[in-house]
Amino acid sequence: MKRREFLTAGISIAATSIVASNTFSSVSFAATSERPMQILALVFDDYETLDLHGPIEMLGHMKNVEIKLVGAKSIIRSYQGPRVVTDLSLDSVTPCDLLIIPGGLGTRKLIEDQVLMRWLREQQKVSDKVFSICTGSALLAKAGVLDGVNATTNKMAYNWVTSLSNKVNWQPSARWVDDGKYLTSSGVSAGIDAALFYVEQLRGKSEAKRIQALTEYHWNDDATNDPYAVET
Amino acid sequence: MKRREFLTAGISIAATSIVASNTFSSVSFAATSERPMQILALVFDDYETLDLHGPIEMLGHMKNVEIKLVGAKSIIRSYQGPRVVTDLSLDSVTPCDLLIIPGGLGTRKLIEDQVLMRWLREQQKVSDKVFSICTGSALLAKAGVLDGVNATTNKMAYNWVTSLSNKVNWQPSARWVDDGKYLTSSGVSAGIDAALFYVEQLRGKSEAKRIQALTEYHWNDDATNDPYAVET
């Protein structure tokens, strides 16, 4: 590859992250109207493609937004095959407006990764809002981030995810659950609906509707309308 | 980045593509039940995120499928910001079962790119089926690939795309149009519906429904149901 190209990217990356050697930084994050909104998305091998790129599609159409990927390696492979390039590493935490945690088959192994668990606990402290899609909530639950929080997850993997923590108030019927700082969505494409809800919450219904029309999307804008709800 | 990591990828890439110096190869492609189905997706700077990753999500859940990205550079940036790594270059054509052409703001400049236009004309010859999403049909129309074909495109960009060729039978009201070798979808998320239609066409309705449930998706499975149809 063009090595220079990647190094150039590396420079801009270093400038935006807080690098810590042994301990993570946890600088509080004051939003200003001047700077672009900062969205950070975790990626890992075998992440589910649409969990990540569905919300990125919708959120990326808001004005004045910067979306960056963070992961343990320079190049991350999705479950479907194609690879993405990370902008930030797990050696640091980065204050942001929104932290996106996708799901996918990769989460089955990742729940045992203590480096990631520690990063999640520290990164979420410097994130104004945390948004998980599908089994991304398994990572947050295992890290203890969702203790006492109302949350949901992929209904096909409901039994596995909910078995990881009995301290989360798991919701068996919800397209998404918004509980203050934590927004958790149901499986895969539910993340697109939840992302548009977040746009509405942040910038108003008309902005969410503008992006829905722009993307010719059929938005399920009712969090209680869950066609894949599970019986418990 | 880990240079070795990329070079290793490079080796597997070389093995799968047909490299030609001055002229493109156009080896006919005989599908066998042994080899994985080959899906090739074009990427370019400022491609629309969901145009590409929506269909990849659905198609990638079929059994025995390989999805590769092809582009003019090693790393390609989406309109929303995140970057993908290409597996193949435009120096060659690669026989495949399905060629995916996403749209996005990048197409506005790309219609003037004669290298790409030539690649499209040659690559489509060795592709069993060609599937464009959103303004991806602008590239195919400009290359002359859709002459005499019934096709559709993003309804928000309908006037621009249709102005590029009067030899295409443009359809102002269609979620997607399947005309033999050429499958063209309406804007952005319509590509997900068309991808599931392709799964149904190839592997049957039950397989399409399995993937729809797996991804908790609301599938608009009626090509004539176009909420964003334009008046002409």
* Per-residue pLDDT reduced to its tens digit, A54-97: 999 999 999 999 999 999 999 999 999 999 999 999 999 999 99
CA angle B220, B134, A198 (to 5 degrees): 65
* Single pTM value for the model: 0.87
**Spatial distance between the Cα atoms of A52 and B44, rounded to a whole number of angstroms:** 19
Write out chain B residues lying below 8 Å of A3, CB-based. 1, 3
What is the predicted pLDDT for the residue at A231? Answer: 78
Question: A48 and B61: CB-CB below 8 Å?
Answer: no
A41–B82 C-beta distance less than 8 A: yes
* Rounded CA separation B43/B73 (Å): 9
Smallest Cα–Cα separation from B68: which of B86, B82, B92?
A: B86
Chain B residues whose beta carbon lies within 8 Å of the beta carbon of residue A187: 214-216
For the segment B76-105, what is each residue's pLDDT rounded down to a tens digit? Answer: 999 999 999 999 999 999 999 999 999 999
Quick check: B190 and A79 CB within 8 A? no
Q: Which residue has the tokens 């399905």?
A: B98
Q: pLDDT tens across B147-162, in order?
A: 999 999 999 899 999 9
A73 CB-side CA count, 13 A: 14
Nearest-CA neighbor of A174 among A103, A232, A224?
A: A224
Mean pLDDT by 10 residues, chain A (232 residues): 36 41 44 80 98 98 97 98 98 96 97 97 98 97 98 94 97 96 95 97 96 95 91 74
In chain A, residues with a C-beta closer than 8 Å to the C-beta of B84 are: 82-85
Contact yes or no for A98/A59 (Cβ under 8 A): yes
The pLDDT of residue B8 is above 90: no
Q: What is the pLDDT of residue A33?
A: 59
pLDDT of residue A71: 98
Measured distance CA(B132)–CA(B139) in Å, rounded: 9
pLDDT single digits (tens) B156-187: 899 999 999 999 999 999 999 999 999 999 99
